[in-house]
């Protein structure tokens, strides 16, 4: 048996050290990604493909705003190669990232600046209550496909920084997904181009980015938090605006009680329909399927041709 020479031992030690301290993660291992909620998990899976393993901490059919983390979940955040989140949307998740894994976080709000929560209705004067309840930044940036496409590009860049050996695959997947999002944007724009009405009444102030992109006017019964109980003054004000704009459909969400939407609808003689903010994984299909379902619901409500 040959003895290892001192010089060979030094070279082995250096090689081990370089492997441990390298800038990128080992190309043979999958990136461990923890995402705060569905849309960020979805784009992580689409961009990362076979080279990532994505965990979503917000359970399906529950309100992700209200996520509370168990000690085990906080450990998952601490151990992840990358944590994908949107600062301000899930306070408990934000705290876990800040406490345990700040250097390995991808903040969507840092890539795509957020809009103010309140957007005034053209020609309406009576919305002091609406304005008060809409204070803050609107986190629902993924409801504009072009803004989501910008997040996809930023995420691919971050994945590549962590695992450079798969950078080409990440960028190809991101380009494909961005192309699909741009095509979806064109599809929705055409579908909502010619409508008898452009005012939508929704249960929760979540559709500002969608409304901005497609020239709609959002009137929200509740503020940025879907759990916020609307005041009687707010209910009366929404009803007045809805009647003035001849709204005949009030939209509710799948993970929030429809009772308030039903109350407004009964008040103005309207019907109710579902409009999903896609905060959680759809019961069937994916982000694209639900965006198309939302668009069809709006086409019916707004009497689009």
H helices of the chain, where? 6-21, 38-48, 71-79, 91-100, 108-111, 128-133, 145-162, 167-191, 208-213, 232-244, 259-268, 287-302
Other CB atoms within 10 A of residue 106 CB = 23
Other CB atoms within 10 A of residue 159 CB = 29
pLDDT (average), residues 179-188: 98
Q: Is pLDDT above 60 for 217?
A: yes
Q: pLDDT at position 19, please?
A: 37
Tell me the per-residue pLDDT of 221-239, one tens digit each, with 9 for 90 and over.
Answer: 887 776 677 888 888 888 9
Residue 35 or residue 237, greater confidence: 35
pLDDT band at 119 (very low <50, low <70, confident <90, very high): low
Q: Is pLDDT above 80 for 126?
A: no
pLDDT (average), residues 257-272: 90
Tell me the per-residue pLDDT of 56-91, one tens digit each, with 9 for 90 and over.
Answer: 988 777 788 888 899 999 999 999 999 999 998 999
Tell me the per-residue pLDDT of 4-22, one tens digit each, with 9 for 90 and over.
Answer: 444 444 333 434 333 333 3
Q: pLDDT at position 133, please?
A: 55
- pTM of structure: 0.86
Tell me the per-residue pLDDT of 200-210, one tens digit each, with 9 for 90 and over.
Answer: 999 888 999 99
């Amino acid at each position: 048996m040959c003895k290892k020479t001192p010089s060979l031992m030094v070279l082995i030690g250096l090689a081990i050290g370089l492997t441990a301290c390298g800038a990128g993660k080992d190309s043979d291992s999958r990136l461990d990604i923890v995402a705060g909620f569905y849309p960020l998990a979805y784009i992580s899976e689409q961009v990362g493909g076979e080279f990532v393993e994505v965990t979503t901490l917000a359970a399906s059919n529950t309100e992700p705003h209200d996520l509370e983390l168990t000690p085990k979940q906080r450990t998952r955040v601490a151990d992840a190669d990358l944590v994908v989140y949107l600062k301000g949307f899930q306070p408990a998740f934000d705290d876990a990232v800040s406490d345990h894994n700040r250097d390995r976080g991808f903040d969507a709000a840092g890539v795509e600046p957020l809009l103010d929560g309140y957007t005034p209705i053209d020609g309406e004067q009576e919305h002091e209550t609406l304005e008060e309840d809409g204070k803050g930044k609107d986190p629902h940036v993924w409801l504009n496909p072009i803004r989501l496409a910008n997040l996809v590009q930023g995420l691919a860049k971050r994945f590549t920084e962590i695992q450079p050996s798969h950078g080409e695959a990440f960028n190809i997947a991101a380009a494909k997904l961005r192309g699909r999002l741009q095509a979806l944007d064109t599809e929705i724009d055409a579908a909502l181009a010619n409508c008898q009405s452009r005012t939508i009444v929704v249960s929760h102030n979540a559709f500002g980015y969608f409304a901005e992109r497609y020239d709609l006017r959002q009137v929200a019964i509740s503020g940025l938090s879907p759990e916020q109980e609307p005041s009687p003054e707010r209910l009366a004000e929404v009803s007045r605006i809805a009647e003035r704009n001849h709204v005949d459909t009030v939209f509710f969400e799948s993970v929030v009680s429809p009772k308030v939407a039903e109350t407004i609808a009964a008040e103005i003689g309207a019907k109710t329909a579902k409009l999903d903010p896609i905060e959680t994984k759809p019961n069937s299909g994916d982000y694209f399927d639900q965006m198309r379902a939302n668009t069809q619901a709006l086409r019916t409500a707004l009497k689009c041709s």
